[in-house]
């Protein structure tokens, strides 16, 4: 299940890509399949080991084209172990809402991004996320949990302040918003509640089968209740006024 829309975020074979806070690796895997030279970085060592295992399996199965490379590594988003202007593309998906120093993370991403490079940032959308917070303190008051809710204009302003030039936005995963509302209403750790189990089955069916009915429904609902807000930007070849 991808949050970044690669029809709006072009990726060329050979592009050097950083998937920052890669988690289980879903975007890193897609970039690898598209022929990129991928670095998947996360502070969670267990997840990184799992991502590395999947990279190896994909290579063995021939899922990545010739020339594509993939590396999984532990690292700190506020102190990236890469030289300036190392990457053509940076993706950070559902990560910034967890990090107190989000401006510091943006600065590091801009530092390692080449001039003319592209960045995709995704965060939980303000409206659906506010509902989750209202329904359940346990949803966000956990170690490593969500510490802020972004409004779209706030995130875009921070991106511009970091020297980026946003060029497009959209919303994603409308069908997932009701699932998380149910989870918050019945208990975020309660997977046995009938409404939660039933809706989870629907989501699994949708992800696995991609039926036309749910695909069309989600496209229609994304502008209204899309769970994620996605913003795309480029790094100008010369510093922007906001970055000076």
Whether residue 38 contacts residue 19, with contact meaning beta carbons closer than 8 Å, is answered with: yes
Tell me the whole-structure pTM to 2 decimals.
0.94
75-172+226-233: what fold? Rossmann fold (3.40.50)
Mean pLDDT across 174-186: 97
Nearest residue to 115 (alpha-carbon basis) of 180, 163, 61: 163
Using one digit for the tens of pLDDT, what is the confidence trace for 141-164?
888 889 999 999 999 999 999 999
Residue 127 has pLDDT above 50, yes or no: yes
In angstroms, the CA 14 to CA 88 distance is 9
DSSP 240: -
Q: In terms of pLDDT, which residue wins out, 131 or 240?
A: 131
The CA distances from residue 22 to 42, 83, 191, in Å, are: 6, 19, 25
Tell me which residue has tokens 């802020």.
148
In angstroms, the CA 221 to CA 126 distance is 15
Residue 242 has pLDDT above 80, yes or no: no
């Amino acid at each position: 299940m991808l949050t970044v829309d690669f029809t709006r975020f072009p990726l060329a074979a050979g592009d050097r890509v950083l998937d920052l806070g890669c988690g289980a690796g879903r975007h890193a895997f897609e970039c690898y399949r598209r022929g990129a030279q991928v670095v998947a970085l996360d502070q969670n060592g267990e997840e990184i080991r799992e991502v590395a295992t999947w990279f190896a399996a994909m290579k063995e199965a021939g899922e990545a084209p010739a020339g594509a490379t993939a590396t999984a590594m532990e690292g700190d988003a506020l102190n990236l172990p890469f030289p300036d202007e190392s990457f053509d593309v940076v993706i950070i998906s559902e990560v910034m809402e967890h990090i107190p120093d989000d401006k510091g993370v943006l600065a590091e991403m801009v530092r390692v991004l080449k001039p003319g490079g592209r960045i995709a940032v995704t965060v939980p959308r303000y409206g659906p996320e506010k509902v989750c917070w209202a329904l359940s303190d346990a949803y966000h008051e956990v170690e490593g949990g969500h510490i802020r809710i972004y409004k779209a204009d706030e995130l875009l302003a921070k991106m511009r302040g970091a020297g980026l030039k946003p060029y497009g936005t959209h919303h994603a995963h409308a069908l997932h918003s009701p699932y998380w509302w149910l989870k918050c209403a019945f208990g975020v750790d309660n997977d046995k509640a009938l409404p939660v189990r039933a809706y989870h089955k629907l989501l699994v069916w949708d992800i696995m089968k991609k039926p036309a009915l749910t695909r069309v429904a989600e496209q229609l609902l994304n502008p209204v209740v899309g769970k994620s807000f996605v913003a795309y930007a480029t790094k100008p070849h010369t510093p922007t006024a906001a970055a000076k």
